[in-house]
Amino acid sequence: MSGSLSVALTGNPNTGKSTIFNELTGARQKIGNWPGVTVDKKVGYVRHNDKDIMIVDLPGTYSVNARSPEERIVIDYLMENHTDLVVDVVDSSNIERNLFLTLQLLEKGIPLIIDLNMQDEAKKRGIKIDVKKLEKFLGFPVLLTVARDGSSLKNMLNVFTSISMEGYGPSEKLQDHIAKAKEIESTVTDEKARQEQLIELRYAFIDEILRESVTFSHVGTTTSEKIDHVLANGILAIPAFLLIMYAVFQITFEWIGQPIADFVDELVNDQFLGWASETLADAGVADWMQSLVCDGIIGGVGSVITFVPLIFILFFCLSFLDGTGYMARVAFIMDPIMRRCGLTGKGVMPLMMGFGCGVPSIMGARALDTEKDRMLSIMAAPFLTCGAKLPIMALFAAMFFPDDAANVVFAMYVVGVVMAIVSTKLLSHTTFKDDNSTFLLELPPYRMPDMKTVLLETWDKGKGYLVKAGTIIFLGCVILWFLSAFNSEGMVEDLNDSFLASIGSVIGSLFVFQGFGNWEAGAAVLSGVLAKESVVSTIGILYGMPDISAEAEDAVETAEAMLGTGMGSAFTPLSAIAFMVFSQLYTPCVTALGTIKKEAGGFKWMVFAAVYMFVLAWVVSLLVYQIGSLLGF
Amino acid sequence: MTLKDGKTGMTLRVDSIGESGLKERLMTMGMLPGTKIKVLRSAPLGDPIAIGLRSYNLAIRRKDAEQIQVTAI
């Protein structure tokens, strides 16, 4: 036997469907977008018993009423593409509600393999399903799996390659049910009443299935209930949440992420840079080439590469927490607070990612329920202190407030969060008014996350950062280097004669009232639109410290060196604060802008975000400087 | 009474669900007239509340819970 086979996976959210998909296909998957919508399209490949199997992981949905883009994708895909097999993944511990989708699909005439997943959990909860009876009741094949157990998945692949769906068809009982559903569809004209009658019919049939083939034995309080009693109950839930988030940030910025980042920094900025500059010198290349490669490209791209470990560790922690089911609890406990800020509890997870990088944070808004929630979350994310803004804050704080550096950096995080809230309030009363926000969220049982799934998700969210380093930042570094090394007459000796100085002084003049109207700051602001990582390296180059470290950890050392340059006199402590506030809030980097265009659905939102955030930052930094001056700082 | 007035630990039976954008979603997720639900807990600030039905748990805001007529059993 050889050949190829196509399989579609469908099912409710939280059924372990993605775990099955990831365990079956591993790294051999492609994640793209369904045409026209911002919903992930996941396709994976596996070879088994001489067959090439293509598996499509359809979005998890509770029904296929085509009310949401996800539901439309599922039903359109299944009706239009005649995949060889359609697997309906059912959470056995929650079989009642899961069978709703099963019935809906069977009514549409889609032959299913019903996979009763999470067998281990069902057992723990005292739920026993008689497979033979269920098969007979519906007339379609039923499989048992435990997603993390390799042998049950191997069995699943065996079934894929050997089963013939020809031998299956709706049982008499199911045919009766389908006939009744057809009758409702053809006789009840009111859309609402029709849907409600259909839903009632399906649940009545599900009750019949349960009576026939499932036994529930009472078990005491489940472990999840016990954990929720602490983590999602009463006033204790909030300190518990803060403690967990504190641990995530410690792991990222102190315990694990930063040491790896330091190691990478050493590797790139010392060893590789040294090697490259020697090699180029030995090869006898021109000075400008040497300068382009070492100062421009390696300096710029290198400073981004050193952030990669931080970003990946943060996303790993958040994906892990998401896999345990805790993130649903976070949405639950934070909803009242988020709602007062104009957002929703479900927005916590995407916004948390904003402290790593705005791009996945903006993309994470996909998971929210309403258009209004999505737009507000997209527009709030760029205000947060992403990994690339941190070094700006760290450098300025260490230079101008050596005794209070940590507090000043923390204050900038607060400024970001407060402005995200203020802006959300503002937008929800002006731009995104009419839309009723609702909140309906399943709280799945706590589970040990599947490591493969966590790692694949981490990679999926973090890889954009690597791509960015290789494309936009690479390009930006080359452009910036060119602008700083040339003017209309050729290569310049003195930076003050360069293109960059001319452009920077135009931009800088916008910030006279903020106290940083010099051309160097103007050029740094410009480079920050390419990538926020470039702000510190631009400042370094312009003030004659080309090998400035972009790492927060080295800020103190760098600050001491920088104070000896012109930078020490170019800023006062107050104008430094104004610059930090401005950097925190202004126009997101081009990668984030591109993501906004894609996720918010249009060029106009991208331009809106760019202009709106620039103006807001300009006004706030102006207020900071002017009020600060009046108060005599 | 409505689900909004449900106290932690109470078991309730759904009598009807008011017309709203949420009704069909709630029904799809298994909340029909006659369904038994249990109030599990409320979030730290009293809202939303977590309820158990058909062997799974669901979080719902009190504002939406107000639309659901229930009887204590």
Q: In CATH, which superfamily holds the domain spanning B3-72?
A: Ferrous iron transport protein A (FeoA) (2.30.30.90)
B48 vs A335: CB contact, 8 Å cut-off? yes
Please classify residue B2 by burial: count the beta carbons closer than 10 Å to its beta carbon, then call 0-12 exposed, 13-18 middle and 19+ buried.
middle
A17 confidence band (pLDDT: 50, 70, 90): very high
A559 in any annotated domain = yes
Pairwise CA distance, residues A443 & A519, whole Å: 53
Tokens at A22, concatenated: 């990831």
Full domain range(s) for residue A78: 3-216
Residue owning tokens 């920094």: A265
Q: What is the pTM of this model?
A: 0.90
Pairwise CA distance, residues A469 & A492, whole Å: 28
pLDDT, position A21: 95
Helix (H) or strand (E) holding A568: helix A567-570
Pairwise CA distance, residues A380 & A354, whole Å: 9
pLDDT, position A421: 94
Residue A478: is its pLDDT beyond 90? no
Q: Using a CB–CB cutoff of 8 Å, tell me whether A336 touches chain B.
A: yes
Residue A550: is its pLDDT beyond 70? no
Q: Which of B29 and A538 is assigned the larger pLDDT?
A: B29
A436 confidence band (pLDDT: 50, 70, 90): low
Total domains present in chain A: 2
Q: Which of A130 and A236 is assigned the larger pLDDT?
A: A130
A49 confidence band (pLDDT: 50, 70, 90): very high
- Cis previous bond, A336, omega within 30: no
Cα-atom radius of gyration of chain B, to the nearest Å?
11
Looking at the structure, do residues A273 and A349 belong to the same domain, yes or no?
yes
A232 in any annotated domain = no
Give the distance from residue B2's alpha carbon to the nearest chain A alpha carbon, in angstroms: 17
Give the distance from residue A330's alpha carbon to the nearest chain B alpha carbon, in angstroms: 10
Mean pLDDT, chain A, rounded, equals 89
pLDDT, position A546: 55
Tokens at A270, concatenated: 């010392």
Q: Which of A23 and A602 is assigned the larger pLDDT?
A: A23
Helix (H, G, I), strand (E, B) or coil at A402: coil
pLDDT, position A547: 59
Pairwise CA distance, residues A242 & A231, whole Å: 11
Looking at the structure, do residues A366 and A415 belong to the same domain, yes or no?
yes
Contacts of B45 in chain A (CB under 8 A): 336-337
Contacts of B3 in chain A (CB under 8 A): none
Looking at the structure, do residues A77 and A173 belong to the same domain, yes or no?
yes
Looking at the structure, do residues A212 and A291 belong to the same domain, yes or no?
no
- The answer to whether A550 and A536 are in contact (CB under 8 A) is yes
A96 confidence band (pLDDT: 50, 70, 90): very high
Average pLDDT over residues A236-241: 91
Looking at the structure, do residues A268 and A360 belong to the same domain, yes or no?
yes
Residue A1: is its pLDDT beyond 60? no
Contacts of B7 in chain A (CB under 8 A): none
pLDDT, position A64: 95
Tokens at A309, concatenated: 């470990």
Looking at the structure, do residues A480 and A425 belong to the same domain, yes or no?
yes
A509's CB contacts (< 8 A; 6+ apart) are A517, A522
Q: Which of A485 and A7 is assigned the larger pLDDT?
A: A7
Looking at the structure, do residues A623 and A580 belong to the same domain, yes or no?
yes
Pairwise CA distance, residues A103 & B35, whole Å: 19
Side chain identity at residue A618, one-letter code: W
A437 in any annotated domain = no
Q: What are the domain boundaries of chain B?
A: 3-72
Over residues A277-295, the pLDDT tens digits come to 899 989 888 888 887 888 7
Please classify residue B29 by burial: count the beta carbons closer than 10 Å to its beta carbon, then call 0-12 exposed, 13-18 middle and 19+ buried.
buried
Residues pairing with A52 in the sheet: A4, A47
A439 in any annotated domain = no
Backbone angles phi, psi at A35, to 5 degrees: -55, 130
Q: Using a CB–CB cutoff of 8 Å, tell me whether A123 touches chain B.
A: no
Q: How many other C-beta atoms lie within 10 A of the C-beta of residue A69?
A: 15
pLDDT, position A42: 94
> Which CATH number belongs to the domain containing residue A21 in this structure?
3.40.50.300
Residues pairing with A128 in the sheet: A215
Looking at the structure, do residues A261 and A205 belong to the same domain, yes or no?
no
Mean pLDDT, chain B, rounded, equals 93
A62 in any annotated domain = yes
CA distances to A259, A305, A338, B16, B49 from B9, rounded to whole Å, are: 48, 52, 26, 21, 12
Tokens at A449, concatenated: 């996350």
Looking at the structure, do residues A351 and A399 belong to the same domain, yes or no?
yes
A460 confidence band (pLDDT: 50, 70, 90): confident
A440 in any annotated domain = no
Looking at the structure, do residues A283 and A344 belong to the same domain, yes or no?
yes
Helix (H, G, I), strand (E, B) or coil at A565: coil
Q: Which of B69 and B73 is assigned the larger pLDDT?
A: B69
Looking at the structure, do residues A350 and A496 belong to the same domain, yes or no?
yes
Residue A556: is its pLDDT beyond 80? no
Over residues B24-54, the pLDDT tens digits come to 999 999 999 999 999 999 998 888 999 999 9
Over residues A354-396, the pLDDT tens digits come to 998 898 899 889 888 888 899 999 999 999 999 889 889 988 9
A124 in any annotated domain = yes
Looking at the structure, do residues A471 and A619 belong to the same domain, yes or no?
yes
Q: Using a CB–CB cutoff of 8 Å, tell me whether A100 touches chain B.
A: yes
